[in-house]
């Protein structure tokens, strides 16, 4: 779903995906998946979340409490911690 300005329409029904990393400025997956969600008319958004390694367990714990969270992707340096 897109609004007139080209960005996604985000509502209470929107499904949320996050990609955790430290840093997240290099993350490209939102630029790939968010347009795909829109093209397929999927009410979802992927958001990069900057999570420092020392905070990873707390961040994941908090995310697990979010009712509309459908997935967590991990990138550097958390890939090895997620194994």
Is 25 within a domain?
A: yes
pLDDT at 34: 95
For position 77, what pLDDT does the model report? Answer: 82
pLDDT digits (tens, 9 = 90+) for 19-78: 999 999 999 999 999 999 999 999 999 999 999 999 999 999 999 999 999 999 999 888
Q: Containing domain of residue 70, as a range?
A: 15-74
Interatomic CA distance for residues 73 and 83, integer angstroms: 12
User: What pLDDT is stored for residue 2 in this prediction?
Assistant: 54
Flag whether 68 is in a domain. yes
Phi, psi of 27 (to 5 degrees): -65, 125
In a domain, 81, yes or no: no
CATH number at 41 reads 3.40.50.10860
Q: Structural domain tally of the chain?
A: 1
**Torsion over CA: 72, 74, 78, 83 (sign):** positive
- 52 is an active site residue: no
List the catalytic residue out of 68, 79, 81, 82: 79
Closest CA to 72 of 32, 25, 15, 12: 15
Is a pLDDT exceeding 80 seen at residue 18?
yes
Backbone angles phi, psi at 53, to 5 degrees: -50, -40
């Amino acid at each position: 779903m897109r609004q007139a300005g080209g960005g996604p329409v985000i509502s209470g029904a929107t499904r949320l995906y996050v990609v955790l990393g430290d840093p997240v400025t290099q993350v490209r997956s939102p630029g790939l998946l968010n347009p795909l969600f829109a093209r397929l008319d999927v009410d979802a958004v992927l958001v990069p979340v900057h999570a420092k390694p020392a905070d990873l367990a707390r961040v994941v714990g908090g995310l697990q409490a979010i009712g509309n969270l459908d997935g967590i992707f991990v990138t550097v340096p958390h890939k090895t911690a997620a194994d």
